[in-house]
Amino acid sequence: MSGACSSTAAFKITSRFIRFLPHSFLYYTASCARKEAAIVNRVEKNSRIAYTNQEIRRDLLMFSIETSWLDVQAYFKTNDSVMIITGSLECHGVHNPLGADTFVPEALAQRIEKQTEILVLPALPYGSCDYLRGFPGTVSLSTETLRRVLQEIVDSMRAHGARRFLFLNGHGGNLPALEQVALKLNSQGDLGIIANWWQMAKEIDPAWGGGHGGGEETAAMLAICPQAVHFERCRESTLKPLSENITTTGFKTVQFKGVTLTMPQPIAAICDNGWTGPDHPATASASWGEAMLEAISQLLIQLIDELKHIPLGEAHEVR
């Protein structure tokens, strides 16, 4: 099919299939339909529209899935920043979708790219989820597999001119792999920085912080995709104690006589539905989620601008 994307083709998808499509693809098909009328009008007005290697299609969003290689080539002539979104497919309680860790950073990226210029790669919807393997639907990559995938994505972008990498992360289990990739970038004189949206939320406003599938993530999902949140399924979540004197305080922690100890455990062994507090999901609201997403996106926009002005350093050997 030549010319503009066809809205008929874009939306000729069964509702059953849509449920399993990556959010980035759904966003892409919807954006194609929105742009079709504008593109057709422009083509009718101009008998021929010529784009050179020096021009960037600023009428298109800076999501690389929507641009041609010429647009990316032109972008790298004056820019060297790339955003890589990392998520996961894992349990977030019985009330939230498996893809919550991808939905949230991708929604933030959509807000960000409208207000600043940065090339955003399609979200990586799989992460390292060993703790939640016991819940059906969870897909887990080993840390080494995830590291290699991320490293090869970075290497591909570096070959085209990228030097500054912002990893917008939605899942804590991805951090070991992300840290290794970012360390290599920073050691070779480039720039790699990781933004974990849930940590940013807590530090912007302590009332927004904490939990897995609790109030914070549920609020974000209510602002992004409320039809994917099922409050009617939500129930209390109690973590099974290890013994009479050792209480389970988190997915990786236990407490003995007031002292916190590290004890990684499979979540299905200590929790029957997959969410933890401190905020109960029932406390979540779309207004909370909207305020949180807006505050985080504005801070990230400022961060992206700041990173563009940081001089790149010299390579340092990793000993």
At 123-176, the pLDDT tens digits run 999 999 998 888 999 999 999 999 999 999 999 999 999 999 999 999 999 999
Query: β-pairing, 119-120 with 81-86?
Result: parallel
- The whole-number pLDDT of residue 20 equals 44
Higher pLDDT, 97 or 30: 97
Q: How far apart are CA 187 and CA 185, in angstroms?
A: 5
pLDDT at 269 over 90: no
pLDDT at 59 over 50: no
Residues 100 and 125: beta-carbon distance below 8 Å: no
Q: Which numeric CATH code is attached to 51-209+286-308?
A: 3.40.50.10310
- The whole-number pLDDT of residue 48 equals 35
- The whole-number pLDDT of residue 88 equals 97
Q: Average pLDDT, stretch 251-263?
A: 93
Q: Which helix (H) or strand (E) holds 44?
A: helix 23-45
pTM over 0.85: no
pLDDT at 14 over 70: no
Domain boundaries, the chain: 51-209+286-308
Q: How far apart are CA 210 and CA 277, in angstroms?
A: 7
- The whole-number pLDDT of residue 301 equals 97
Q: How far apart are CA 119 and CA 153, in angstroms?
A: 13
Measured CA to CA in angstroms, residue 316 lies from 150, 158, 174, 176, 181 at distances of 21, 17, 25, 21, 15
